[in-house]
Amino acid sequence: MLEQMGKAAKQASWQLAALSTAQKNQVLAVMADMLEANSAAILQANEQDMVQARAAGMSDALQDRLLLTPARLTAIADDVRQVCRLSDPVGHILDGSLLDSGLKLERRRVPLGVIGVIYEARPNVTIDVASLCLKTGNAVILRGGKETHHTNQAMVKVIQLALAECHLPPAAVQAIESPDREWVNQLLRLDRYIDMLIPRGGPGLHKLCREQSTIPVITGGIGVCHIYVDDNVDYDKALTVIENAKAQRPSACNSLETLLVNRAIAASFLPALSARMATAGVTLHASDNAMPLLQAGPAKVVPVAAEDYDDEWLSLDLNVALVDDIDQAIEHIRIHGTNHSDAILTRSLSHAEYFVRAVDSAAVYVNASTRFTDGGQFGLGAEVAVSTQKLHARGPMGLDALTTYKWIGYGDDLVRS
């Protein structure tokens, strides 16, 4: 069955690659309208998944990722319309030249072909990925987690109705409905049909894909994100950024997980931090050197465990540690970070530039929240993933990341001498 899905997706990709921008935008517009028109069915399917999630004892953070509300579904449909308004990269000429031989050469953006995406409790990924793939003329095979089974089924049904309405093959967007992990193992070896694989999930999924896939893999999305508070900051402004990075949506991969504070300001800054975090409902996981300065504050504080520095909380929990200087902060990020999003809060231009050069993450911020690492915030529209590796794509993956290029040579009955 998976072989048939791959074959159908490859055939659909050839048809999609020939579409004009206007034709692709029409599909997306119909898809957005149908999502809203079928919102009751989608939300009902999501509630089935939520009932099972609550019965299984799923964490609040994962339930928040899974939950769809009327407002969230409207926002998802609006994201699709935003993709319509984005410039189509397909057909864009990257560069060109006229060679001495008389051959006119150019590099032109083209679709990758067929994308495979494996993801967990994120129903919005279904629409984000489908819309970006369709805009770039790619077919896609989706494999969501069992947690989103009913929601994904309902969404893919709507997408395929939109494709049929526009006289395009429903196989352009397909989903593996079985929760059996063996389907994932088979998908990882479908290199005859799939051109790029994107896993969106935990470290275990990424490790499996890197080790077992015969398809090129783009990994990312695991965000152990840091903010370093330098010894020269405006406290109120710094605390506002920290609160946003931690509490605005703690279940997101770009939320703050570890705060590193320069020891020189710790005695005055940490009590202010405790007061702000208490208001936001954040529990502080303090290092040995930070604990004495936080115990008297109003925020709940517990000792940090060594393993806490290497994992995502995805909740209203925050590690807090003191560092002697910017170099010790950078060293901590190099050891415990995931190359996702890290920031420095400082009024020193030299420290800011030093941090930017030294921290090797997909997104590095100066006096800004890590929550900006997002396709929509970057002006890319919906994102297919956040890549933390360096080849082909890095950071939020928008439309350009779903294309490659081909060399095209024009001659006048030209032969090589």
Tell me: the pLDDT tens digits for 132-166? 999 999 999 999 888 889 999 999 999 999 999 99
DSSP state of 307: G
403-410 and 104-111 strand pairing: antiparallel
Q: Return the closest-CA partner of residue 139 out of 193, 93, 79.
A: 193
Residue 310, judged by CB atoms within 10 A of its CB (0-12, 13-18, 19+), counts as middle
pLDDT for res 307: 96
User: In the numeric block, which tokens belong to residue 245?
Assistant: 């990075």
Q: Residue 377 corresponds to which amino acid?
A: Q
The 10 Å CB-count burial string (b at 16+, else e) for 175-185 is: bbeeeeeebbe
Does position 382 have pLDDT exceeding 80, yes or no?
no
Q: With cut-offs at 50, 70 and 90, classify the pLDDT of residue 177.
A: confident
CA proximity to 340, closest of 223, 187, 167, 216: 223
pLDDT at 210: 86
The whole-number average pLDDT for the span 120-132 is 86
Residues above pLDDT 90, as percent of the chain: 80
Task: Give dist(CA 368, CA 378) in Å, integer.
Answer: 13
Banded model confidence at residue 375, pLDDT cuts 50, 70, 90: confident
For residues 35 and 124, the model is more confident at 35
Residue 379 has pLDDT above 90, yes or no: no
For 220-276, the pLDDT digits (tens) are 778 999 999 999 999 999 999 999 999 999 988 999 999 999 999 999 999 999 999
Instruction: Judge whether 154 and 132 are in contact, CB under 8 Å.
Output: no
d(CA 150, CA 123): 10
SS3 content of the chain, % helix, strand, coil (to 5): 45, 20, 35
Scanning the structure block, which residue is given the tokens 């590796």? 389
DSSP code of residue 265: G
Residue-averaged pLDDT of the chain:
94
Residue 9 has pLDDT above 80, yes or no: yes
Report pLDDT for 11: 98
9 vs 133: CA distance, rounded Å: 12
Please name which of 134, 141, 178 lies closest in space to residue 29, comparing C-alpha atoms.
134
pLDDT of residue 3: 93
Higher pLDDT among residues 219 and 26, named by residue: 26
* Amino acid of residue 290: A
Lookup: tokens for 72? 């969230």
Q: Is 296 helix (H, G, I), strand (E, B) or coil?
A: coil
b/e sequence 322-360, b meaning 16+ C-beta within 10 Å: bbeebebbbebbeebbbbbbbbbbbeeeebbebbeebbe
Band (34; pLDDT cuts 50, 70, 90) = very high
Q: What is the pLDDT of residues 287-333, one digit of tens each?
A: 999 999 999 899 999 999 999 999 999 899 999 999 999 999 999 99
- Distance, CA of 315 to CA of 282 (rounded, Å): 8
pLDDT of 192 > 90? The answer is: yes
Q: What is the C-alpha separation between 147 and 189, in angstroms, rounded?
A: 24
- Residue 314 structure tokens: 């995805």
In 67-148, alpha helices (H): 70-85, 123-135
* pLDDT band at residue 73 under the 50/70/90 scheme: very high
